[in-house]
Chains A and B, each alone.
Chain A
Amino acid sequence: MYSKELLKGTLKTIILKLLSESDQMYGYQITQKVKEITEGKINLTEGALYPALHKLEADGLLSTEKIEVGNRVRKYYRLTQSGNNTAQEKVEELKEFMETLKSIINISPQKLAWSI
């Protein structure tokens, strides 16, 4: 399990990426999907997920649809057109960021000493 701090900056990107790969998803499904893909290493809590979903909806990146399931209403989230574009941008940005991080993390102690 990773720390909350690490997850914070990438939460939106994770949600957008997941939604870009399926037509529409509901909240619980997203948490389960993340758990499944990461083999339980990332636990997307409700306290992080729903505020982020509502914010993305308010920003116009997501739209919702309410469907009656069983005896209750289930809210499905899907990407809007601009959500689609943002999802691609965000994923690219994160990839680049991970490359940059690697270059920092991989610096050997000697190299670091020399550069200083």
Chain B
Amino acid sequence: MEHLTEQNISEITTLIKAKGVEMEELVHDLVDHICCMIEERMEQGENYTSALDKTMNSFGNNGIRNIQEETNYLLTKNILAMRKTMHITGITAAILLLLGSIFKIQHWPGAGFIYILGAASLCLLFMPLFLAVRIKEKIGKLNVVSNVVGTIGAITMCFGILFKIMYWPFAGILMNTGGVLLLFIFLPLYIYSGFKSKQLKTSTIVPIIVAVAGFSLMFSLVKLRNSQDVTDAILNIQYTIYEDTESTLITNQSILKILQNDSITAHHGANEIAQQINDISEDLNFAIAQSMHQEIPEEKLRETIRLNYYSISNDMGDLAMLRKDERGLQDLVDLIKKYEGLYLSITGVKANLMINNANLESYLNRTKTLFPLGIVIHDLSLLNLQVQRLHSSLLQYYKGKVS
């Protein structure tokens, strides 16, 4: 039996591919099949060219292409329904997230709820379905692994962003975990499999570039804080307040000693209140710092809080933690009012301490309790400084009376 030459076969292969057949396995099948048909004709005495023409014509215009379409249809029939659901949930999620952001920008109520719905349908429906469809489509262990890691990373990332928007805890951990999974595990696997299948073309490179660039931009956006100069300036103010308070307390201590030596006791009531104000405001500040950084051990936190760099934190917290019955913000406000009254009755001079009274009132009464608590630290420490200064003048007043 006469075999077709290598040249004939490459011609037939080109012809089949030109008809639009892309599936490698199907090309193998069809090349062999058509060769067999040609050989049969040639055995009956036809020459190669005429046998090729007649064979190719017997398929009709779209016959060969239709074989691939039919094969594709049979292979994907099962996942068509799944894909349809995937599209619907994907579109729903996109619309909900878009709506949520419009509501958020307009400050309309319900933005959070819409965000949660959108993120849930994206993370819990769309992405798992997408993964399932991918796994059914693509065979190959490496691809399955990279797709699973990629999907888990994307879901974690997405929930992290939702948590960030909703000011829920652990947003940072979720976003960082998702980012690490995507950048350091999924992406290398994706690139590697791209190299391996020798398909590192535009279709592989472009998503990689978009992914890396997108991540960098997003991270810089999320991690964005005030500029370094502004931050330093605020920290300086905060540190000055702290230093001032410390030195005032030391001054007061030394005056107290003098008064003690002269057996004066009339100031004791005021002294006790000033001491309590100092204690409570320090405790509250510490509690706020602790709520923002649970991971820092208590001792270290006490050291760092003296620098009060928590006051520049953008992290949101719940004002409810200040509204406790004992030694809370209300007690502090009451004590300050009491001190003011006492000061007036002793010296006859009215002290206007609570210059940021409105702030304190709002911390106590506003219904939306989510708030950047760092600002509260600033208010409380400034207020304490003012009280201790005032107390200093009261002690001076007594000392003056003695001498």
User: B75 near A28 (CB under 8 angstroms)?
Assistant: no
In the complex, the answer to whether B75 meets A54 with C-beta atoms within 8 Å is yes
> What are 24 pairs between A and B in contact, CB < 8 Å?
A26-B32, A27-B33, A28-B32, A47-B63, A48-B70, A50-B67, A50-B71, A51-B71, A51-B73, A51-B74, A54-B71, A55-B74, A55-B75, A69-B32, A70-B9, A71-B6, A71-B9, A72-B9, A72-B32, A72-B35, A73-B31, A73-B32, A74-B32, A75-B28
With a cutoff of 8 Å between Cβ atoms, the chain A residues found around residue B59 in the complex are 46
**Contact indicator A58/B75 (Cβ below 8 Å):** yes
The one of A51, A71, A72, A75 in contact with B70, judged by C-beta atoms closer than 8 angstroms, is: A51
Judge whether B3 and A47 touch: CB under 8 Å: no
B2-31 interface (Cβ within 8 A of A) = 3-6, 8-9, 25-26, 28-31
Among B5, B32, B36, B66, which residue has its beta carbon within 8 angstroms of that of A47? B66
B37 within 8 A of A: yes
Q: Which residues of B contact A27 (CB under 8 A)?
A: 29, 32-33
Q: Is residue A95 contacting chain B, with contact meaning CB distance below 8 A?
A: no
B28–A70 contact, CB under 8 A? no
Q: Contact between A51 and B28 (Cβ–Cβ < 8 Å)?
A: no
Task: Give complex CA distance A97, B193 in Å.
Answer: 48
Q: Is the interface of B mostly helix, strand, loop or mixed?
A: helix
- Cα A54 to Cα B4 in complex, Å, equals 26
Q: Which residues does chain A contribute within 8 Å of B6, judged by CB atoms?
A: 71
| A46 touching B71, Cβ below 8 Å | no
Known: A54-B25, A54-B26. 19 other contacts (CB 8 A): A46-B59, A48-B70, A50-B26, A50-B29, A50-B30, A51-B70, A51-B71, A53-B29, A54-B71, A54-B74, A55-B71, A55-B75, A58-B75, A70-B9, A70-B35, A71-B4, A71-B6, A72-B9, A72-B31
Bound Cα distance from A50 to B33, whole angstroms: 10
A7 interface contact, C-beta 8 A: no
The chain A residue with its CB closest to the CB of B26 is A50
> Residues of B contacting A74 with CB < 8 Å?
32
Q: Given the known inter-chain contacts A50-B30, A54-B25, A55-B75, please indicate yes or no for A71 contacting B3, CB distance below 8 A.
A: yes
Bound complex: CA A50 to CA B29 (Å): 8
How many Å from the CB of A35 to the closest CB on chain B? 12
Interface residues of A (CB under 8 A from B): 26-28, 46-48, 50-55, 58, 64, 66, 69-75
Q: Which residues of A contact B67 (CB under 8 A)?
A: 46-47, 50-51
Establish whether residues B3 and A75, one from each chain, have CB atoms under 8 Å apart when the complex forms: no
* Docked-complex contact A75 and B25, CB < 8 angstroms: yes
Please report the C-alpha to C-alpha distance between residue A51 and residue B8 in the assembled complex, in whole angstroms. Answer: 25
CB-based contact B75/A66 at 8 Å? no
| B32, closest chain A residue (CB) | A74
In the complex, which residues of chain A have a beta carbon less than 8 angstroms from the beta carbon of B3?
Answer: 70-71
Instruction: Select one of A28, A51, A75 contacting B36, CB under 8 A.
Output: A28
- Asked if residues B4 and A47 are in contact (CB atoms below 8 Å), the reply is no
Q: Least Cβ distance of B42 to chain A in Å? A: 13
Asked if residues A46 and B31 are in contact (CB atoms below 8 Å), the reply is no
Once bound together, how far apart are the Cα atoms of A64 and B9, in whole Å? Answer: 21
Contact of A46 among B33, B73, B74, B75 (CB under 8 A): B33
B26, B29, B30, B37 pick with most chain A CB within 10 angstroms:
B29
The interface centre, meaning the residue of A46, A51, A72 with most chain B CB atoms within 10 A of its CB, is A72
* Beta-carbon contact of B74 and A52 below 8 Å: yes
- How far apart are B26's CB and chain A's nearest CB, in angstroms? 6
Alpha-carbon gap, A37 to B59, bound state (A) = 23
Q: Inside 8 A of B35's CB, which chain A residues have their CB?
A: 70, 72
- Closest-by-CB residue of A relative to B37 is A28
The residue of chain A having its C-beta at the shortest distance from the C-beta of B72 within the complex is A51
**Chain A proximity of B231: nearest CB distance (Å):** 60
* Top-8 shortest CB links A-B: A28-B36, A70-B3, A51-B71, A51-B70, A55-B74, A71-B6, A74-B32, A54-B71
Q: Considering the chains assembled together, what is the distance between the CA atoms of A73 and B6 in angstroms?
A: 11
Contact between chains at B29 and A75 (CB < 8 Å): yes
Contacts of A70 in B (CB 8 A): 3-4, 9, 35
- In the complex, the chain B residue whose C-beta lies closest to that of A48 is B70
Bound-state Cα–Cα, A28 to B30, Å: 9
Given contacts A55-B71, A55-B74, A70-B3, contact A46 B32 (CB under 8 A): no
Minimum C-beta distance from B35 to chain A (A): 6
Distance between Cα atoms of A69 and B67 in the complex (Å): 23
